[in-house]
Amino acid sequence: MSDEDVAAGARFCSSCGSALSPTARRAQTPAPEIATPQAVPGAPVGLQYAGFPDRFVAWLIDVILLVVVNVVLLIALSQSFAAQGFTFLLDGAYLVVGNGTGATLGKYTVGLRCVDANGEVPGLGRGLLRWIVSIFSFYALLIGYFWVLWEPQKRTWHDMAAGTYVVRL
């Protein structure tokens, strides 16, 4: 008697008609599927979410880089109001393009990537939305950033708004 002769849950063999023992019937019953921690609707499957420590180090690298560039530019441009506006837009462009293409230099250095629900690069539109919402996260006493600590998918406010995830490479 082969496995093909026994239908799932059958009490008798379909070839010879003999009665099946309870253990043979149990062996043919398919095991229930077990949900994995990644099996969340809309989340990228098979990717590991980046936690607070890695994201903080990536953010710190980006901040140090941007501060150095801003200081140099402000000294060179005589610290005028226009120069401050220029550096703000330059910082925004860096973050929009970096997150829109998958990783800023900080994320790249730490081994992180920003992806959409399909695990693909989010694009410049989502990068722009992430940057805008991150400004609100910052001015809301950083609560939007600390949201990573208790959110199951390790997402910040700007991740949730843009439909993105930060994952390990």
- Regions of the chain with pLDDT less than 70: 1-43
What lies within 8 Å, CB to CB, of 34 at 6+ separation is none
Angle, helix 81-100 to helix 124-139, in steps of 10 degrees? 120
**Residue 32 pLDDT:** 41
- Asked whether the beta carbons of 135 and 128 are under 8 A apart, the reply is no
Give me the phi and psi of 17, to 5 degrees please. 85, 5
What would the pLDDT profile of 134-149 be if each residue is shown by its tens digit?
999 999 999 999 999 9
Angle, helix 81-100 to helix 52-76, in steps of 10 degrees? 150
Quote the pTM value. Answer: 0.71
Dist CA 146 CA 156 (whole Å): 7
Domain ranges within the chain, ordered by starting residue: 1-33, 52-168
26: left (phi over 0), alpha (psi -120 to 50) or beta: alpha
**Residue 132 pLDDT:** 97
